[in-house]
Structure 1
Amino acid sequence: MEFKGVMGGLYRISEWIMRFSVINLLWLVCSIPVFFFLFMGMVSQTPDALKATLPILAVLAPFTLFPATTAMFAVARKWVTGEEDVPLLKTFFRGYKDNYLQSMLGGIFFVLIYVIIAVNYFFYLKQGSSLRVLAVLFIAFTVIMTIALFNFFSIIVHLHMKIFQIVKNSILITIGNPINSIVLLICNAVIVYICLTKFNFFLVVFFMGAIVATFSFWQFNRSFTKIQTKQQELEEKEQQRLAEAELAEEGEGIAADHERDDADSNVTPISLNKKDENDKTKD
């Protein structure tokens, strides 16, 4: 039964609310260890307690948070590409299972990168004024790797690649499309800010992760489609150039054949004339 008009619009809105809330809840449930220690560190309201939870979060994230986020992106990919009525539980857990190993390896890589950036940032921050400027450089690295992280989840559910290629392409897309990368970061930051400050518990539990995943994949898919279009145009131009070159070579070959035929036709009468002259001499 399909509703039309106002009822149809309300039905569609309620349907999307249900989809976002189910996927967001699945994401939270599959990442319970990470969010539990994060919550404990935040409610302690002491910097030392929060710092003490960071190593635990760094260890747990690759094995829980990253696979769950990948599964959430797998569902978001279906929505963005037009498959809105996919079974949510089946699609989520299939994405979780199929991409678990690559998600875990990618999670270890990104966690190590963040640890290295943090160590270097605080090291240079404590140095003199001349070296303290380098701390700003590591802030820039953090921004780039954060955007690359969103692209990492989008690539892992959209393309069949090895983990090294996924990480490399996520960074290249981030650097190669600076405007889209900045838009992605700003919009996701606004979403997270609204969810954490306005009705924080409700929005975080039911919507935040799913909305971020859907928007991130939509932005990635838009950039990826543009890249594919440009590649196809370049390939078509290259094929056209090769076809024109082949036609030119064929034309030169035909012209050369005509020249040889003309040369042969010019030689034959001369030889006949000479033969005629010889015959006349004999006569």
Structure 2
Amino acid sequence: MEFRGVMGGLYKISEWIMRLSVINLLWMLCSIPVFFFGFMGLVSPSPDGLKAMLPIIAVLTPFTLFPATSAMFAVARKWVTGEEDVPLLKTFFRGYKENYKQSMVGGIFFVIIFVIISVNYFFYLKQGSSLKLLAVLFIAFTVIIIISLFNFFSIMVHLHMKIFQILKNSILISIGNPINSIVLLLCNGAILYICVTKFNFFLVVFFMGSIMATFSFWQFNRSFTKLQIKQQELEEKELQKLEEAEAEDEANPDDAVEDETENRNSSVSLHKNDEKNRE
């Protein structure tokens, strides 16, 4: 039975609420170790409680959070590309299984990069005023890596590439398309801020991850589609030029024969000159 009007709109809204909340819950369940130690660090009475948990979280993230996030992006890809009625559980765990290895390797790479950036940032922050400027540079690196992280998941679930190509293209897209990168960062930052500060527990548990994944893939797919259209237009122009050149050759066959004869004569004369020089 299909609802129309106000009832149809309410039904659509409730359906999307259900989809987003189910995927977000699955994402959190598959990432329980990371969220558990993160929560323990936040509620710890010690001021350095979260810092003490960071090494454990860094080790667990590539093996739990990254595969779960790739599965969530796989479902978001289905939604954005028009397959809204896909089975949620089956699609999520299929994406988890198919992308586990690549997401794990990518997770190790990004964790190492974040560790290197953090160590250098705090090191230069404690130095003199001239070296403190380098700390700002590492903040810029962090922004690029965060944007690349969203593009990494979108590329992995959308295109069949090797892990090195996915990592390279995620960074290149982030740097080469600054406007979309800024929009992606600001919108996801706004979603994160609202979920954490305004309705902290409810939105984080039921909607934060799935909304960010859906928006991130929508933004990526929009940019990727534009790039494909431009590439197709360039290919069509090149094909049109080739067709026009072939049509001109067919329309003027005598000129083509004369040009070919001149080329042959010139090559023969050069050959004779070479023989004379040898003699």
Residue identity (%): 80
Q: Is the 2:71–2:96 contact (alpha carbons within 8 Å) kept by the matching residues of 1?
A: yes
Which residue in the other structure is 1:136 paired with? 136
Which residue in the other structure is 1:178 paired with? 178
* Distance (Å, rounded) in 2 between the aligned partners of 1:122 and 1:249: 68
* Distance (Å, rounded) in 1 between the aligned partners of 2:136 and 2:58: 23
Which residue in the other structure is 2:59 paired with? 59
For residue 64 of structure 1, what is the amino acid of its counterpart?
A: T
CA separation of 1:259 and 1:217: change in aligned 2, threshold 3 A: closer
**RMSD of aligned Cα (Å):** 1.6
For residue 42 of structure 1, what is the amino acid of its counterpart?
A: L
Larger radius of gyration: 1
* Distance (Å, rounded) in 1 between the aligned partners of 2:49 and 2:256: 86
Which residue in the other structure is 1:231 paired with? 231
Which residue in the other structure is 2:211 paired with? 211
* Distance (Å, rounded) in 2 between the aligned partners of 1:72 and 1:28: 10
Bigger mean CA offset, 44-53 vs 198-207:
44-53
CA separation of 1:256 and 1:70: change in aligned 2, threshold 3 A: closer
* 1:75 Cα deviation after fit: 0.3
* 1:230 Cα deviation after fit: 1.0
Bigger mean CA offset, 37-46 vs 137-146:
37-46
* 1:246 Cα deviation after fit: 3.3
For residue 108 of structure 2, what is the amino acid of its counterpart?
A: I
* Distance (Å, rounded) in 2 between the aligned partners of 1:114 and 1:256: 63
Superposed, which structure 2 residues align to 1:1-283 within 5 Å?
A: 1-257=1-257
* Distance (Å, rounded) in 2 between the aligned partners of 1:197 and 1:227: 37
Q: Is the 2:249–2:256 contact (alpha carbons within 8 Å) kept by the matching residues of 1?
A: no
Q: Secondary structure at the match of 1:127?
A: coil
* Distance (Å, rounded) in 1 between the aligned partners of 2:98 and 2:233: 33
TM-score for the superposition, normalised by structure 2: 0.90
Number of residues of Structure 1 aligned to a counterpart in Structure 2: 260
* 1:124 Cα deviation after fit: 1.1
Unaligned stretches of 5+ in structure 1?
Answer: 261-283
* 1:241 Cα deviation after fit: 2.3
Bigger mean CA offset, 147-156 vs 122-131:
122-131
For residue 191 of structure 1, what is the amino acid of its counterpart?
A: I
Q: Is the 2:23–2:88 contact (alpha carbons within 8 Å) kept by the matching residues of 1?
A: yes
Bigger mean CA offset, 175-184 vs 250-259:
250-259
Unaligned stretches of 5+ in structure 2?
Answer: 261-279
